[in-house]
């Protein structure tokens, strides 16, 4: 029996959030040899829907199809859906075995209450806003994609393809997922825990206090940076600082400092010949093993592998 995969869109959705994963599942259906999937482009009421690039698509009504997986795409319209639309999406999601979002589609799932108490990700630019708007969500803004139970979320734009490959692998196994990646000429596949590109270096917190603390951390990476020191720079108590930092960046202070050190180290790992131990010490890691674990979490590979890849 084929699995029915539904892609929920709305006016002002991001076209690539739809087309990338949609094509991945279409290729998987062909590559599996047994028509593994039936694909549906859906809207709440089955109307014509306009994307952010102006293309207008025909859709099926959300309630007309029994789904195995519901994928909510992202786009500017994701935060403009009304209460009636959210209620319909929530009702359909509760009847679906697997639910996912691409990019800011996570805001739709969060508004439906489907991310409460769950770990989730979104485009790095909107991670802090997702955390502020929905404090019950455990936002991991550094991930390419995340799975928590039957709910999957992904980062922005092309990360939807990584999400689709992971879902295909869960359904049909790694061989089919790998064949789809080869057909699409993409990596098979970036690990879900791999970091979104330079997210922390691009983040600009709203308040001067948190900006000052981040700037201080960047300037003092080679030194121990306990949270008490950062809180003092921000003129906040430790508890106030922790809450404000997480709210404005989507990261804990410890994770942010680890990321800053790893990003500083990566350029040197790729472009210089000095030893890994020397680089680790020069950016503030207490030992090379800590840097290796940070690289695995953030980039999906240890420093030595990243150096070899850069040389090739």
Taken as a whole, the chain contains a residue count of 312
* Cα gap 259→138, rounded to integer Å: 18
β-strands 138-139, 56-57 pairing: unpaired
Strand segments (E) across 74-178: 98-101, 119-120, 138-139, 145-148, 151-154
Q: What confidence score (pLDDT) does residue 243 get?
A: 93
CB 115 within 8 A of CB 146: no
Of 210, 169, 218, which is closest to residue 189 (Cα–Cα)? 169
Q: Please, where in the chain does CATH 3.40.50.880 lie?
A: 3-184
3-184 classified as CATH 3.40.50.880: yes
Mean predicted lDDT score pLDDT of the chain: 90
**If you search the block for the tokens 């690039």, which residue do you land on?**
53
CA triple 46-67-178, angle to 5 deg: 115
* Cα gap 225→289, rounded to integer Å: 19
CB 69 within 8 A of CB 100: yes
pLDDT tens, residue by residue, 207-251:
889 989 988 998 898 899 999 999 999 999 999 999 999 888 878
pLDDT tens, residue by residue, 144-168:
899 999 999 999 888 999 999 999 9
Name the fold adopted by 199-311. Arc Repressor Mutant, subunit A (1.10.10)
What are the residues facing 8 on neighbouring strands?
42, 72
Confirm whether 103 is a catalytic residue: yes
**If you search the block for the tokens 């909107």, which residue do you land on?**
126
Q: Please, where in the chain does CATH 1.10.10.60 lie?
A: 199-311
Of 175 and 105, the structure prediction assigns the larger pLDDT to: 105
What are the residues facing 43 on neighbouring strands?
61
């Amino acid at each position: 029996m084929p699995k029915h995969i539904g892609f929920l869109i709305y006016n002002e959705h991001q076209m690539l959030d739809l087309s990338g994963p949609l094509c991945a599942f279409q290729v998987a259906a062909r590559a599996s040899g047994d028509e593994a999937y039936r694909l549906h482009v859906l809207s709440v009421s089955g109307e014509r829907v306009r994307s952010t690039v102006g293309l207008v698509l025909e859709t099926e009504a959300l309630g007309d199809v029994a789904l195995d997986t519901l994928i909510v795409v992202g786009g500017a319209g994701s935060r403009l859906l009304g209460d009636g639309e959210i209620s319909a999406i929530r009702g359909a999601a509760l009847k679906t075995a697997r639910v996912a979002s691409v990019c800011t589609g996570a805001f739709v799932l969060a508004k439906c209450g489907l991310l409460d108490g769950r770990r989730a990700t979104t485009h790095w630019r909107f991670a802090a806003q997702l955390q502020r708007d929905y404090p019950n969500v455990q936002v991991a803004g550094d991930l390419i994609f995340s799975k928590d139970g039957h709910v999957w979320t992904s980062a922005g734009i092309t990360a939807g393809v990584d999400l689709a490959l992971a879902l295909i692998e869960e359904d049909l196994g790694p061989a089919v997922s790998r064949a789809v990646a080869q057909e699409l000429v993409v990596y098979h596949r970036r690990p879900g825990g791999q970091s979104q590109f330079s997210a922390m270096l691009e983040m600009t917190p709203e308040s001067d206090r948190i900006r000052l603390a981040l700037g201080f951390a960047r300037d003092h990476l080679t030194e121990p940076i306990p949270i008490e020191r950062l809180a003092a720079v921000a003129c906040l108590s430790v508890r106030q600082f922790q809450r404000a930092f997480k709210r404005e960046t989507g990261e804990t202070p410890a994770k942010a400092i680890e990321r800053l050190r790893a990003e500083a180290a990566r350029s040197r790992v790729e472009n210089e010949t000095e030893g890994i131990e020397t680089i680790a010490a020069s950016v503030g890691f207490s030992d090379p093993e800590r840097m290796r674990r940070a690289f695995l979490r953030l980039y999906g590979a240890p420093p030595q592998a990243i150096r070899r890849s850069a040389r090739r």
